[in-house]
Chains A and B, each alone.
Chain A
Amino acid sequence: MDVVSSSAPTLSLRGVRKVYPTSPAPVVAVDRIDLEVGAGEIVAVLGPNGAGKTTTLDMVLGLIAPTEGTVEVLGGTPESAARGGRVSAVLQSGGLLRDLTVGETVQAMAALHRAESRVESVMARAGVTELAKRKVRACSGGEQQRLRFALALLPDPQMLVLDEPTAGMDVGARRSFWETMHEETREGRTVLFATHYLEEAQSFAPRTVLIDRGRILADGPTAELRALVGDRSVVATVPGAEDGALDRLRAVPGVREVHREGDRVTVNGTSSDDVARLLLTQMGGHDLEIAAPTLESAFLTLTGEGEAR
């Protein structure tokens, strides 16, 4: 088993395209994606809404077939891996019957997977044991997500696919969800998750795949990606700021863009410390704010580079 899993990738997508034949023009949801994920890797698929994240994951799960290209999961087809329970998923949309109780839901799915013996342990691990008698419709978004997570653990999968697992959760629920996930990955499971929170990729995935408009923009260690999109934005009130002052800011190495609205000056670039020092000590700036890179700015940077090439 070890020999097989170390030589063959857990997941391999080659030249995968997905085109939806909508009118008037067909929509290309995924446009030639190549991706390999090895056993035990934790990979974040990061991108804005409509980037093709869900479509990609659906193809990995065999829920939809690619228009072109091949998807291979654990050495076989996605369908057989998913049906056999070697790959399981926390799906983004619904996936629950609202008039069942939490306990009934787990039991029904356990019966289909022939995993009745795992019901108790899985419910405990996902933290839904106390909710067993509650109707699904009475559960909060976070509780429903824990239930979905319990269902995903039922078949004891080698790979977990999570499609925006913390969407709609408050901060506390989000943190406790990822804590539970950390526990599960100690067992050496491969995890592929989609998110549009840069922060989730940063704190949970050693590797991030950045996608937009169905294409991979970047694929590598999350730390490197972060450096790549290291733009920060510095905003300060500078009374009587005139064009000469803006030119001084533009001269600071690493500054990409400067603009002004009234007395409020905004500087975008990588050298936020130098810019802040200049603004505060020499230009009489006050009310200074420094904002971390947003996903939007990351994409602007990356797509801008992509066009320049």
Chain B
Amino acid sequence: MNPTYLRIDLVRQLRDGMYISFVIGLPVVMYVLFGTAFGAGSEAVGRGDTRFYVMTAMAAYGASIGATAIAASAAMEMLQGWGRQLALTPLRPPGFVATKVVVALTVSAVGALAVTVVGAATGAHASPPWVWPVTFLVTWLGSSLFALYGLVIAQLFHSETAIGVASASLVVWAFFGNLFVPLSGTVQQIARWTPMYGYAGLARWPQMQGVSPTGDFTDPMWALVLNWVAWAVIFAGLAVWATRRGRARQ
């Protein structure tokens, strides 16, 4: 990874208003709608309240969109032939992937932080206080999985449709990840194998310790960690493979 290259790429993303409005605006609005306006609020759940629960879910969604959107911009780079240009430099595919993950992590930190700040301002509650920073850190760092996911989709589709495919499919994973409505029964059994399930469960761990909001089942931590790690390995492998493949085309 090259620090100058990383800085220039990061500045380029942060001055693009579109990503920022989706990464910050959408999750914040959804939190305000579901977390406060529709009455969800101060009922105690785990180490916090319903508002904190919704805040974590939306922070996770924003962080994931940030990670995925940045990765989708990698699709445009490939489409514009930038990958061929990079192939003529000492930067290797793993270095390209690592650079993009760092850029995506920075943007997703902005997304998670925005919802967290709005949550704090609207009275989301959790105690003891360490639940706040730990929840934020897990939400933020865990979203790196979706930078890899976005890269895979981007490199496979190799065109502007990648952005649509990546963000549309993210809504599906977020549903199965328990971010929008609490799942139960067969749907929940299927959901455990999907990529956002482990991430969402871990982001909520400080508050919920794996207990579902309805209280009818509990996920052990090892299962959530295993889900995240397994999907990270799969996405990372696919991303490196697809980057190599992308260089040979056009």
Contacts and interface: CB of A to CB of B under 8 A. Distances in A.
Nearest to A161: B88
A205 interface: no
B250 to A, nearest CB: 5
Contacts, number: 76
Interface in A95-149: 95-100, 104, 107-109, 111-114, 116
Contacts of B86: 112
A83 B89 contact: yes
Interface residues of B, number: 25
A258 B103 CA distance: 67
Interface string B1-14: 01111001101100
A158 B43 CA distance: 71
B90 interface: yes
Interface in B130-154: none
A84 interface: yes
Nearest to B87: A63
B12 A100 contact: yes
B12 A97 contact: yes
The secondary structure that dominates the B interface is: helix
B216 interface: no
B81 interface: yes
Interface stretch (A86-94, A190-198, A239-247, A265-273): A86-94
Interface of A: 61-64, 82-85, 87-89, 91, 93-100, 104, 107-109, 111-114, 116, 151
B47 interface: no
B80 A108 contact: no
A82 B87 CA distance: 8
Contacts of A88: 88
19 contacts: A63-B88, A63-B247, A83-B90, A85-B90, A87-B88, A91-B81, A91-B85, A93-B84, A93-B250, A96-B85, A99-B16, A104-B12, A107-B8, A108-B5, A108-B9, A111-B3, A111-B8, A112-B89, A113-B90
Nearest to A87: B88
B67 to A, nearest CB: 19
B248 interface: yes
A91 B82 contact: no
B91 interface: yes
Contacts of B90: 83-85, 112-114
B82 A112 contact: no
Contacts of B219: none
Contacts of B16: 99
